[in-house]
Structure 1
Amino acid sequence: MGNNLADLLLINGNIITMDEEKPRATSIAVKNDTIVFVGKTKDALELKGSSTEVIDLKGQTVMPGFIESHIHPTMYGLNLLQIDCRTENTPSIDEILKKVEEAAKDTPDSEWIKGWGWDDSKLAEKRNPTRWDLDKVAPNHPVVLTRTCTHMAVVNSKALELSGITEETQDPSGGHIEKDSQTGEITGLLQEKAQGLVALPELTFNDILKGMQLAQNDFAKWGITTVHDMSTQKSDMEVYQELLSNNELNVRVRPWYWAVSQNEWSGLLDEVLSLGIKSGFGNDMIKIQGMKFMLDGGIGGRTAALSEPFEGSQSRGILYYDVEEIAPLMEKALLADLRVAIHGIGERAIEVAIQSFEKANKKKDITSMRNRIEHCALPTTEHLQRMKKLELVAGSSIGFLYHIGDSYLANLGPERVERVYPHKSFKDHGIVAPGNSDLPVTGGNPWTGIYAAVTRKTISDQTLDTKQNVSLYDAIKAYTVDAAFSSLEEQSLGSIRPSAKADLIVMAEDPFEIDIEQLVDIQIEKTYLGGKVVYSREQDVPSLNSGQDHMEIQNKQ
């Protein structure tokens, strides 16, 4: 009898299970790291022993922990060690320059100053910063500031000099060095693969480790208990394993190895294949997912490969590879039982992705692998039909609509915006579409993506369309059940049911009972990973969740 007693009981709560067979309950029993009972409080108390911890929820709401199906954890962590140029912190270029000037005072000459998160569409000046702006405040330091989308960066003259980039430097394939249309001088803006020309110093293991420790604090604060790392490198795996071996990893990690060298990341396809690693290798905390490929840029920076030009432009974006180039590489992975996730935002990129999967499917049935098209922003109806035939998952960046939806409207126009991240169409076609933020491209709080899926509204309260809205239940499902499905873990993650991991979030409000406009303000009271508290709002230290505080801490160190 004693062996059946619970380690933890959560009683007298409002449990939203996301399990359709038992959608609501009042209590949960946990043994080791696993849920063993979901039901009524009086029945749960039968599992109470002398050493059982009992938490009276007093009516608070409990849901499964969120699963972020597409982010870049260590990149976000490293950003927390840099200047935070997000609009809420630096609403103008002048404010960005003040931050750079402050950093320059605390940084030895010739050492790099890095920042992230600026968005020209939200800056007061409505333009990109330039090398000349940065030169005014940091003439003796190389400076690089990465845009929020990560598809472009601005550097100053010192950075250009140290990197050997001059007016004579040719655009790399798949990249662009912007030049002033009047003078022909380099403006400092580097798009896509041109960012790889910057001679940044190598990151150290301790840099990445320190950043990840900060990042996972934020994940826990947002109620995120599992993250899919969509650009995993050797150094990332080393950091995850170090944290795990020291019992300091407080989020489950699902790595997707970066396949082909691009955007500062080294391609690992041949190395992974040579080791014989297959999807699913690992344990409950770190489990290999497969290989990540990339076909185009983004809509915010006008580099996605569209079928028709961006508004007010002749440009249709940048397509990195055609089918003949990318399909054989994807096929290598698929035939070796490595799942494939491929970044495709514009229609031309999605078409190349689907054609490549179709070619592979002729050699091997891939329909049960749950391969993915990442972002999948602008699929056509025909694309959706073909995706369903292949049982592809749409890794939908619905969080983009809230954070950068205004730039989508400006860059695409109202007609195309009506079919961006089309969650209703995904559902109508039977396509599973886990939601994501692509953190640090946009903010990582899942409630903003859930809100956008339901309302189709942006951060400025602009309604983008009224055609692709889904219910609140389906929006939450995108960050729980559907996200678990995308890693073939729907039995153990994403819902509250016996035999699932005890990954739980506690909130004061029931999201189904409050005004829809209040969703983005929901606070997580507690986050449990495997039945252990990894975040408690009562004990939260605000300075651990501010990017600028991280910058100040680093400078003092």
Structure 2
Amino acid sequence: MTSISQYPDLILANGRIYTVDGADSWAEAVAIRGGRIVAVGDSAEIEALKGPDTEITDLGGRMAMPGFVDIHNHILMAGQSALYELQFPPSSTIDEICGHVRARAEKAEPGQWIIGNQWGADKMAELNSEASLARLDAAGLGHPVLLRDETMHNRWVNSEAMRLSGISDNQPDPPQGAFFRDPSTGRLTGILVESASGIAELAASNAFSPDMARAAVKRAVEIGNSLGVTAFQDAATALPILETLSDLDRAGELTAWAVASLPLIQPTFLFGTTGDALLAVRDRHRTTHVRPDFTKIFLDGVPGARTAAFHDAYLDDPAHPHGYRGDLLVDLPEMVRMVDKSERLGMGLKVHCAGDRAVTQMLDAVEAVRHFRGPTTVRHHIAHASYIRPEDIRRFAELGVVADLCPMIWYPTTFLEGHKAVMGEERATRFWPIAELQKSGALLAGGSDWPVIPVPDPWHGIEGMVTRQNPSGAFPGVSLWPEQAIDLATAIRIYTLNSATAMGIDSITGSIEPGKSADIIVLDRNVFEIAPDQIADTLITTTYFEGRVVHQG
């Protein structure tokens, strides 16, 4: 216990407090002053520090631990999804999807876009027909409809949405994207892949105001707080998102630490200033809780749409040549320049790498920069670190590259079924070698990729890491590569201190230690005393951010 010279504002006492410090030690009480932890120890010694105005909260033996740190989300899209958009599960059939669309269209204002999430990645072939498009057109009742898949890289839109977006049958595919066509007729089906999705998203974005963006980000942070999240990294932060975060913080309304990832290249689904123009103004938007300390690029797409870049070929299909392996969006020399540029700015580079060839190229780029720049304290992130060649696993630790683990699908899902359809079962199920990465010494950080994952509850990810089974009960009894399961303490560290370390805020948050922000969550159960398949049922009864209650269950 650390002695203190002034009285604490708040003492949390009589708890089972898992600190996630270097020894994974437990305590009974925490003293907090000015939003910071000033002492950790047993209840008697901590309560002896109280002053006449100290508030004492009796935890009643409940477990407490550091707030979660989400290494990867999309905070604006998440809030938009929660506040304004239609929701349906990836398992939904076409009939069910169209039923949801029709119900929303019946209540919509004239001309209003119907935007929704998420159709399953395994449904792409079924949706890719004129007959399916006709059903979506009928369900939309004349409204433009835009529906995102569960990867958030692809869209299914109706004819009215294509008309408003300027997409027509005789239009060539855009660079780094595609308009899918009915294999029988050659006509558009409304399936838009990668950059083609951005054309429709841009048209739909015209109805979205700055006030709506502010409300969306604020709501997303509130949802995160309710799930115990007290810090996050937005994974693609164009200027409007950065402005919104900093404005909320200056108004005293941001209740989490926010690290921003500034795109070096304009993403197809994101609008607003990016690149050098954004880098030039980043420090204007730096606040107490907003840290624009990372850059971001996308190196490939997603497996289900055959846009992720792999060393081995996809299964043959009519739309691609034999031996097709997916495309890298940036070549190695340019990748080296981006890593070097980020380091010269003192910024880590977060790189979307869904396929193992993309992972290899990012590691090659970092290795090249190490040869001519020498050691660095900057941490680069490979998101999503899911498909990795065995010989590349050790290179994460050797090069100091973080494995940004998200979305939370290291167990059987419709995502995986979509991968099996294009890669074959054997390759598709070599998914998320988390235990091997851990044993190699890599820094593993936990994220949600929300709204790719509709409910960004870290306990779902943690249970999945421990059991390799779907915590929702879907795919009962089926495990995904069970040899890659890890223990609970390691999984909790991945979602707390490891993520804080990867984001460069581990001196501030991520563990319960003197000097750190009092970002603490109280649980309804001790997760070390329950069956592994009950971990995802854990609820947050109270979330403290800087020592003040921001969620009460």
TM-score (norm 1): 0.90
1:38-69 CA deviation, whole Å, 9 max, x = no partner? 11000011111111111111110001000000
- Counterpart contact for 2:246–2:287, Cα < 8 Å: no
C-alpha distance 9-85 of structure 1, shift in aligned 2 (>3 A):
same
1:59-117 CA deviation, whole Å, 9 max, x = no partner? 100010000000001110011233333318x8332232222223223323333221122
- Counterpart contact for 1:15–1:62, Cα < 8 Å: yes
514-523 or 257-266: bigger deviation: 257-266
C-alpha distance 39-243 of structure 1, shift in aligned 2 (>3 A):
same
- Counterpart contact for 1:455–1:463, Cα < 8 Å: yes
- Counterpart contact for 2:128–2:180, Cα < 8 Å: no
Aligned to 1:23: 25
Q: In structure 2, how many angstroms separate the alpha carbons of the residues matched to 1:378 and 1:51?
A: 54
Q: In structure 1, how many angstroms separate the alpha carbons of the residues matched to 2:346 and 2:485?
A: 35
Mapping of residues 74-89 of structure 1, within 5 Å: 74-87=76-89
Aligned-pair distance for 1:294? 0.6
Mapping of residues 354-365 of structure 1, within 5 Å: 354-365=363-374
Aligned to 2:298: 294
Q: Which runs of 5+ in 1 are unaligned?
A: 538-557
Aligned to 1:545: none
Aligned to 2:310: 306
- Counterpart contact for 2:151–2:302, Cα < 8 Å: yes
Determine which of 460, 464, 476 is the counterpart of 1:448.
460
Mapping of residues 457-472 of structure 1, within 5 Å: 457-458=469-470, 459-461=474-476, 462-472=478-488
Aligned-pair distance for 1:408? 4.3
- Counterpart contact for 2:397–2:441, Cα < 8 Å: yes
1:432-452 CA deviation, whole Å, 9 max, x = no partner? 010112111113110111111
Letter in 2 for 1:53: E
Aligned-pair distance for 1:250? 1.4
SS at structure 1 position matched to 2:445: coil
- Counterpart contact for 1:113–1:141, Cα < 8 Å: yes
Mapping of residues 95-244 of structure 1, within 5 Å: 95-121=96-122, 127=127, 130-198=132-200, 199-202=203-206, 203-244=208-249
Q: In structure 2, how many angstroms separate the alpha carbons of the residues matched to 1:418 and 1:37?
A: 46
180-189 or 360-369: bigger deviation: 360-369
C-alpha distance 377-485 of structure 1, shift in aligned 2 (>3 A):
same
- Counterpart contact for 2:79–2:220, Cα < 8 Å: yes
C-alpha distance 216-277 of structure 1, shift in aligned 2 (>3 A):
closer
Q: In structure 2, how many angstroms separate the alpha carbons of the residues matched to 1:504 and 1:512?
A: 17
Q: In structure 1, how many angstroms separate the alpha carbons of the residues matched to 2:360 and 2:344?
A: 21
Aligned-pair distance for 1:192? 0.4
Aligned to 1:518: 534
C-alpha distance 133-367 of structure 1, shift in aligned 2 (>3 A):
farther
1:440-467 CA deviation, whole Å, 9 max, x = no partner? 1113110111111111113423201122
C-alpha distance 470-122 of structure 1, shift in aligned 2 (>3 A):
farther
Letter in 1 for 2:193: Q
Aligned-pair distance for 1:305? 1.3
- Counterpart contact for 2:9–2:55, Cα < 8 Å: yes
1:295-344 CA deviation, whole Å, 9 max, x = no partner? 11123444321222345655533422221343323322222222211111
426-435 or 179-188: bigger deviation: 426-435
281-290 or 179-188: bigger deviation: 281-290
- Counterpart contact for 2:266–2:275, Cα < 8 Å: no
Aligned-pair distance for 1:388? 2.4
- Counterpart contact for 1:111–1:142, Cα < 8 Å: yes
Residue 271 (str. 1) matches residue 277 (str. 2) = yes
- Counterpart contact for 1:503–1:531, Cα < 8 Å: yes
Q: In structure 1, how many angstroms separate the alpha carbons of the residues matched to 2:138 and 2:429?
A: 42
Q: In structure 1, how many angstroms separate the alpha carbons of the residues matched to 2:279 and 2:76?
A: 24
Q: In structure 1, how many angstroms separate the alpha carbons of the residues matched to 2:468 and 2:192?
A: 31
Aligned-pair distance for 1:122? 7.7
SS at structure 2 position matched to 1:292: strand
1:357-401 CA deviation, whole Å, 9 max, x = no partner? 223223323542111111011122322233322211111126122
Determine which of 351, 366, 376 is the counterpart of 2:360.
351
52-61 or 19-28: bigger deviation: 19-28
Residue 397 (str. 1) matches residue 398 (str. 2) = no
354-363 or 475-484: bigger deviation: 354-363
C-alpha distance 179-223 of structure 1, shift in aligned 2 (>3 A):
same
SS at structure 2 position matched to 1:80: helix
- Counterpart contact for 1:67–1:224, Cα < 8 Å: yes
Aligned to 1:430: 441
Q: Which runs of 5+ in 2 are unaligned?
A: none
TM-score (norm 2): 0.91
- Counterpart contact for 1:9–1:52, Cα < 8 Å: yes
Aligned-pair distance for 1:417? 4.6
C-alpha distance 165-276 of structure 1, shift in aligned 2 (>3 A):
closer
1:457-487 CA deviation, whole Å, 9 max, x = no partner? 1342320112211111111111011101102
Q: In structure 1, how many angstroms separate the alpha carbons of the residues matched to 2:210 and 2:173?
A: 31
Q: In structure 2, how many angstroms separate the alpha carbons of the residues matched to 1:536 and 1:312?
A: 53
- Counterpart contact for 2:403–2:442, Cα < 8 Å: yes
156-165 or 404-413: bigger deviation: 404-413
Q: In structure 1, how many angstroms separate the alpha carbons of the residues matched to 2:530 and 2:437?
A: 26
Aligned-pair distance for 1:276? 7.8
C-alpha distance 406-501 of structure 1, shift in aligned 2 (>3 A):
farther
Letter in 1 for 2:120: D
Aligned-pair distance for 1:406? 4.5
Determine which of 370, 377, 383 is the counterpart of 1:374.
383
Q: In structure 2, how many angstroms separate the alpha carbons of the residues matched to 1:416 and 1:360?
A: 31
Q: In structure 2, how many angstroms separate the alpha carbons of the residues matched to 1:69 and 1:366?
A: 24
C-alpha distance 409-57 of structure 1, shift in aligned 2 (>3 A):
farther
Letter in 2 for 1:327: V
Letter in 2 for 1:217: E
Letter in 2 for 1:225: T
Aligned to 2:50: 48
Aligned to 1:478: 494
- Counterpart contact for 1:417–1:464, Cα < 8 Å: no
Q: In structure 2, how many angstroms separate the alpha carbons of the residues matched to 1:323 and 1:284?
A: 36
Q: In structure 2, how many angstroms separate the alpha carbons of the residues matched to 1:242 and 1:145?
A: 30
SS at structure 2 position matched to 1:239: helix
C-alpha distance 413-60 of structure 1, shift in aligned 2 (>3 A):
farther
Aligned-pair distance for 1:418? 5.1
Mapping of residues 499-538 of structure 1, within 5 Å: 499-537=515-553
Letter in 2 for 1:415: E
Residue 69 (str. 1) matches residue 71 (str. 2) = yes
C-alpha distance 107-243 of structure 1, shift in aligned 2 (>3 A):
same
C-alpha distance 274-241 of structure 1, shift in aligned 2 (>3 A):
closer
- Counterpart contact for 1:388–1:431, Cα < 8 Å: yes
Aligned-pair distance for 1:230? 0.5
Aligned to 1:550: none
Q: In structure 2, how many angstroms separate the alpha carbons of the residues matched to 1:136 and 1:369?
A: 52
Aligned-pair distance for 1:422? 1.4
